[in-house]
Amino acid sequence: MTTRNETLFARAQQRIPAGVNSPVRAFRAVGGAPAFFERASGAYLWDADGRRLIDYVGSWGPMVAGHTHPAVVEAVQAAAARALSFGAPTEAEIEMAETICRLVPSIELVRLVSSGTEATMSALRLARGHTGRDLIVKFEGCYHGHADSLLVKAGSGALTFGNPSSAGVPAATAAHTLVLNYNDTAQLEETFRARGAEIAGVIVEPVAGNMNLVVPRAAFLETLRTLCTQHGAVLIFDEVMTGFRVARGGAQAHFGIVPDLTTLGKVIGGGLPVGAFGGRRDIMERIAPLGPVYQAGTLSGNPVAVAAGLATLRLVAAPGFQEAIERTTRALVEGLVAAARQAGVEFSAQSIGSMFGLYFRAAPPESFAEVMTCDRERFNRFFHAMLARGVYLAPSAYEAGFVSAAHGATEIEATLAAAREAFRAL
Ligand code: KE4
């Protein structure tokens, strides 16, 4: 019998490439028809077949307060009733900028955009404009959105479908992108020794979440900070995913490393399209119309999207919010490890803040190469076994998972009960 998800998927593919508006949603890595969702509330999603699912994707990060949080919905409704867009400055954008700078003190000046891709693309152009250099450094398996310079050995959907370096990116563009190994401090030092004077900037996920979850080794970020300072390269922390997830002030607060620029997205939009880039005032003052680096956007700082983001950040900044969500995430991970051990399945997992990684290998990977040794087929079977039992994980072995403040003991215990069965069925 054809399910409604399957019917919708067949119809979608007639007019949308692969039936989706972003590749990783297509379930091509895990197989089967993607779920088409109709509504969400708290920790739950309901799909076109009426299935209620516990959600660990959270729209890939934004839904940290849980779906349709009343404070966020009310803020959006009130803003929308006043105006949908002006294309002109509003007081709400000032409040958003002040809030971001207060929560992430390394950001002295910030500009809003409409996606994480716009944020990282703009930050790179700014690093090049500020230094007058062309070379940028990224790390294999890290994903920073789909700007040309960054689609070189990228993670997330690019990695999921085995095309980490996209077609359509001119060789001349890719030539200005140097790709190093995440957590390889020796290679970093050697690269800066050889080409430090050419490097405009280094962009890094301070906790990698697009090749599954990979946590930086202690010296990695510190060495990166030291080398960028020594050679006059701009250190960009791409906190689109880690911002307000790894810690209230992002991964930079967790590790105590101060980047020159930070990119944000996801949580700061609360589910609506908001990105941001910001940092040192002397660098940010190079952005048009103050300086020579052009950047613009019709809907940048959109009042309805900013209302959703501000309401979400107020919830995130509340006392106890981060501590509670970290406890829930740890309980999930510890329970999954215990369930796998009980079933005799080789499995490991870890969490940092409200992000987690699941690995079908004995220990959490510390590099892209180690991620590649995870049993992807086993993950795909586990994904479907959990989906069949009402739990929605990211449909790719190369994505991090996300817990929300709406996940409580009931959701965790239901997830672990499903996992105990799913591990046994592998
Ligand atoms: P967007 O352009 O998708 O808003 O942000 C790009 C981006 C930038 N930097 C980091 C660290 C990111 O994780 C992302 C986007 N993350 C993916 C999920 N791994 C978005 C999901 C998708 O592509 O559909």
pLDDT digits (tens, 9 = 90+) for 38-68: 999 999 999 999 999 999 999 999 999 999 9
Check residue 156 and give its pLDDT: 83
Active site residue 143: yes
Cα of 180 to ligand 1 centre, how many Å?
20
User: What's the chain's average pLDDT?
Assistant: 96
Question: What atom in ligand 1 is closest to the CA of residue 117?
Answer: 2
DSSP bridge pairs for 67: 42
Q: For helices 91-103 and 303-316, what crossing angle results, to 10°?
A: 30
Tokens encoding 230: 């020594």
Domains of the chain and any CATH numbers: 4-68+319-425 (3.90.1150.10), 70-316 (3.40.640.10)
Q: Is the pLDDT of residue 302 over 80?
A: yes
pLDDT digits (tens, 9 = 90+) for 62-121: 999 999 999 999 999 999 999 999 999 999 999 999 999 999 999 999 999 999 999 999
Q: Which of 44, 56, 143, 359 is catalytic?
A: 143
Cα of 25 to ligand 1 centre, how many Å?
12
158 pLDDT band (50/70/90 cuts)? confident
User: Is residue 144 in contact with ligand 1, taking CB distance under 6 Å?
Assistant: yes
Mean pLDDT along residues 307-318? 98
Question: What atom in ligand 1 is closest to the CA of residue 242?
Answer: 11
Active site residue 47: no
Q: Which of 184, 266, 359, 392 is catalytic?
A: 266
Decide which of 172 and 406 is more confident.
406
Cα of 89 to ligand 1 centre, how many Å?
27
Check residue 88 and give its pLDDT: 98
Contacts 24+ apart (CB under 8 A), 38-43: 39/68, 40/67, 40/68, 41/66, 41/67, 41/68, 42/66, 42/67, 42/68, 42/404, 42/406, 43/67, 43/404, 43/406, 43/407, 43/408, 43/411
Q: Looking at ligand 1, which residue's alpha carbon is closest to its atom 10?
A: 144
| Model pTM score | 0.97
User: Is residue 225 in contact with ligand 1, taking CB distance under 6 Å?
Assistant: no
pLDDT digits (tens, 9 = 90+) for 372-388: 999 999 999 999 999 99
Active site residue 294: no
User: Is residue 242 in contact with ligand 1, taking CB distance under 6 Å?
Assistant: no
User: Is residue 238 in contact with ligand 1, taking CB distance under 6 Å?
Assistant: yes
Cα of 265 to ligand 1 centre, how many Å?
8
